[in-house]
Amino acid sequence: MRVAVATSIHPDYDARIWKHVTGIARLGVEVDLICPWVPKGGAEDPSQRPVHWHTFPRTPSRPMRFMAWFRVLSRLREVLAKVDLVHFHDLDLLPLMSLVSLVKPVVYDVHENYPEEMLTKPYLPGWSRRCLFFVVHHGQLILSRPVRNIVTVVPNQDVTFAHPRYNLIRVPNYASAELLRRAEDNYMAREDCLVFTGSQYEENGSLLLLEITSRLRQRFPRIKVLAVDRFFDPGFYKRYQRRVRELGLQEAVTLQPNLPPQEVWRIVNRGVIGLCPHLSVRKAVLALPTKIFEYMALGIPVIATDAPNTREVIQACGGGLLADPNDLSTFVGAITDLLEDRQKAHEMGKRGQCYFAEKLTWESQMPRLVEYYSTILEKCENRLNHSGRQPMKME
């Protein structure tokens, strides 16, 4: 089997896309990666064969993103006759891939709640967000109908695409099993340190974490917080730093360089609790944060906002505690409980790690995805045989 994987705007070595590419390649699928990335090993990384790179210049700004259609199409035309299907990862590419689906099986990977994203984009005027929500919601449904094959991440997306025309498979955004071997066995010797590996914006709990830390310092004056320097809005970065100074947290909160997802262990291995303190906004409540699985894989307990998808995982494995972002004391109390009983925290982290290894690795999902591809190709072949038509070709 040979599959083209396409992305137009995701950053270099985006976690889900790179795990997808390398995961199916390990199962024997030949992959053509169409992307605006800079390969670490040159134009064709010999360590990642059979992944064939087809790169193009990244578009310089949001208004110029339409240029990516032509760049993706140019690279896709080079391989379209060779591949069995195309799997793409960007809402931006949906109009183009709706046309491609007329000549080749296409899979749309909906790994974000794109309509919900419109409600929280900081660069969008407030008056436009609700309108764009409806435009993206209905536009996505209309344009994805020719594509038919949909990969979802969380349960509410299954409801969105609940129509007999769609061929659905859910592939949750689990972390890679490779993190298991990166876990360090020095938990009991670590200092009181909290880690937060999420992106920095208000809805993701960045400011809430500062308030939590300020409260905790009354009981644990030497407590440390390691967060990631991943800010997309310069204005929010200034606001964040101003709040750090106002609360006197310059010595407590450290922003670590933004690492590639496969190297997140370098930060998590220094902490004793992994935090996921997102606010109770719809976008976050519907999500299932990947960082929860990263914390579990590396053997530290999780304290996360109580939301349906997160609650299901935490309660099933016993690997963490849930808190209410509208009640600061619930986060402070949960963290205090684990800091004061390090053995309890260690055992909780181990339970989460074992559960992750058994049920929640990204690699456990890849055979299902490859089987999904096979089913798509079998149906296409049956339709062609039944109709007596020959496959169309894109010249």
| pLDDT, tens only, 77-88 | 999 999 999 999
Q: What digits encode the pLDDT tens for the residues 316-326?
A: 999 999 999 99
Whether residue 34 contacts residue 40, with contact meaning beta carbons closer than 8 Å, is answered with no
In a shared domain, residues 238 and 328:
yes
Confidence band for 283, pLDDT divided at 50, 70 and 90: confident
> What pTM was computed for the model?
0.88
Checking if the pLDDT of 44 tops 60, the result is no
In a shared domain, residues 225 and 150:
no
Whether residue 173 contacts residue 290, with contact meaning beta carbons closer than 8 Å, is answered with yes
Distance separating alpha carbons of residues 50 and 48, to the nearest angstrom: 6
DSSP code, position 231: B
By percentage, how much of the chain surpasses pLDDT 90? 72
Report yes or no on 395 lying in a domain.
Answer: no
Closest CA to 290 of 361, 386, 348: 361
Distances from the Cα of 326 to the Cα of 195, 205, 208, 212, 352, angstroms: 21, 11, 10, 12, 26
Backbone phi and psi for residue 43, each to the nearest 5 degrees, phi listed first: -60, -30
Checking if the pLDDT of 169 tops 60, the result is yes
In a shared domain, residues 140 and 49:
yes
pLDDT for 125: 73
* Chain CA centroid to CA 278, Å: 15
Report yes or no on 36 lying in a domain.
Answer: yes
Token digits of residue 197: 């590996």
In a shared domain, residues 19 and 81:
yes
Distance separating alpha carbons of residues 200 and 195, to the nearest angstrom: 13
Report yes or no on 327 lying in a domain.
Answer: yes
The domain total for the chain is 2
Token digits of residue 196: 């937060």
Place of tokens 């038509």: 389
For helices 234-246 and 206-216, the axis angle rounded to 10 degrees is 10
Computed over its alpha carbons, how large is the radius of gyration of the chain? 22
Distance separating alpha carbons of residues 184 and 269, to the nearest angstrom: 6
In this predicted structure, which of 78-87, 326-335, 379-388 has the lowest mean pLDDT? 379-388
In a shared domain, residues 373 and 311:
no
Report yes or no on 392 lying in a domain.
Answer: no
Selected residue with higher pLDDT from 43 and 3: 3
Report yes or no on 375 lying in a domain.
Answer: yes
Report yes or no on 393 lying in a domain.
Answer: no
Report yes or no on 349 lying in a domain.
Answer: yes
In a shared domain, residues 182 and 48:
no
Q: What is the DSSP string of 57-84?
A: PPPSSGGGTHHHHHHHHHHHHHHTTT-S
> Residue 377 sits in a domain of what CATH number?
3.40.50.2000
In a shared domain, residues 259 and 328:
yes
pLDDT for 63: 63
Report yes or no on 344 lying in a domain.
Answer: yes
Whether residue 141 contacts residue 114, with contact meaning beta carbons closer than 8 Å, is answered with no
Residue 233, domain extent: 177-359
What residue spans of 65-205 are helical by DSSP H?
66-79, 94-100, 114-118, 126-144, 155-160
Beta-bridge partners for 108: 88, 150
In a shared domain, residues 59 and 144:
yes
Across the beta sheet with 2-6, the strand order is 51-55, 30-35, 2-6, 85-88, 106-109, 149-152, 167-170
Confidence band for 58, pLDDT divided at 50, 70 and 90: confident
Confidence band for 101, pLDDT divided at 50, 70 and 90: very high
Selected residue with higher pLDDT from 30 and 40: 30
Confidence band for 286, pLDDT divided at 50, 70 and 90: confident
In a shared domain, residues 115 and 230:
no
Selected residue with higher pLDDT from 390 and 27: 27
pLDDT for 117: 73
In a shared domain, residues 147 and 208:
no
In a shared domain, residues 71 and 98:
yes
In a shared domain, residues 312 and 368:
no
